[in-house]
Amino acid sequence: MGDIFSSQWVNRQEYYRRIHRFKWISQQIDSNNKTVQGNHIYYFLAGNHDIGYGEETRKYHITRYLNNFGPLNRKWYVDFERASDEDADRPGLHKVAILNAMNLDATRNEEYRREAWDFIRDLATERISRPEIPFILFLHIPLNKPAGVCEPSPVTRLKDDFIAYQDYLSPATSAFLLHCLRPTVILNGHDHNGCLATHLVRNTTHLPVHLGDSGRYLQSSGDLCSMTLEELDMHSSEVEAFAESTVLTSGSSNITTADHLWSTIEITARSTMGAYGGVTGIFDIKRDHALDCDSTFYPRGRREMSASADGYKYQYREVALGHHIVIRVLLIVDIASAVIVPALLLLVK
């Protein structure tokens, strides 16, 4: 979910040393530095520890990321029910996209911000033409949420009017992604604690929002999706007001779409760092023809999610890799065994 390893300010030699270690840990190369052949496909997502926040992003951050991990924005289809390779050109059952969230809001590098927003608008056009295909969106920074839904309250810090730190994407960017892309599921990281949330979205607001001196009003998703990037920046407070009246975000259980037009499930994966429990996540998609309504359920006391939408069942659950204290104890025991056991054997002899 981004932050592959801390690297945005390390020198070239250290950067490639860490890449080598990462590829070895993830079994992309063996101990002889040879590429491991297999059926796995690796997709990577850029985080702030990879290319920096908007204020610190430099072209060389982006260039070396592209050279080693691939595009910042990409999309593809996943069709797990395809019968044969003859159907390879048929649009799949799910559309998947990776989005560069680090340059969506105010950034020093306008080139990559434009690239990300052009990519978003292409996705929005495709969603209009094929709305029946479920859409899964990956991005590093979570969407904006009211205080109390997740553990951190929304915090954004600027430096020279550029993003120096942010817990969530801006309200305007978040509203655009929800209204114009209509993701079925969003998966992200960044927040070390993790979070599960559902966004219930209405297409229109009962009270149109006046866009300043432009003479225009913001009343529907179509109005929002037609706004240019400059207009989104200029009228960010009005877009935020529109989002407050059309988007209901909740972290509670047993959610149904009710009177809302659609819902988006957002899964923020907890950090795999040992201090946060040393976990990873497994996300499953299953076909379920019996489902006739959209709903989301979070089992109490567990970091799990089960949801149904568009005839599919989505499940997310955390899986423990190992707590840092347990791992350190085992390491100490291993080291002690390697030293003490041979010493005892020598004494016995």
Give per-residue pLDDT as tens, 31-87: 777 887 777 788 889 988 888 888 888 888 889 889 988 999 999 988 766 544 454
**298 with 305: CB under 8 angstroms?**
yes
- Is pLDDT of 159 > 70? yes
Q: Show contacts of 218-224: CB within 8 Å, 24+ apart.
A: 218/242, 221/179, 221/180, 221/246, 224/175, 224/176, 224/179, 224/180
Q: C-alpha distances in angstroms, 184 versus 71, 163, 165?
A: 23, 28, 27
pTM for the structure as a whole: 0.83
- Checking if the pLDDT of 101 tops 90, the result is yes
Gap between the Cα atoms of 109 and 327, Å rounded? 41
Which of 101, 88, 291, 279 shows the shortest CA–CA distance to 187? 101
Closest to 96 measured CA to CA, from 125, 44, 137: 137
- Tens digits of residue pLDDT in 287-336: 776 654 555 665 544 577 788 777 788 888 877 765 556 656 666 777 77
Q: Is 185 exposed, middle or buried (0-12, 13-18, 19+ CB in 10 A)?
A: buried
How far is C-alpha 207 from the geometric centre of its chain's CA atoms? 32
Tell whether the model's pLDDT for residue 285 goes beyond 60. Answer: yes
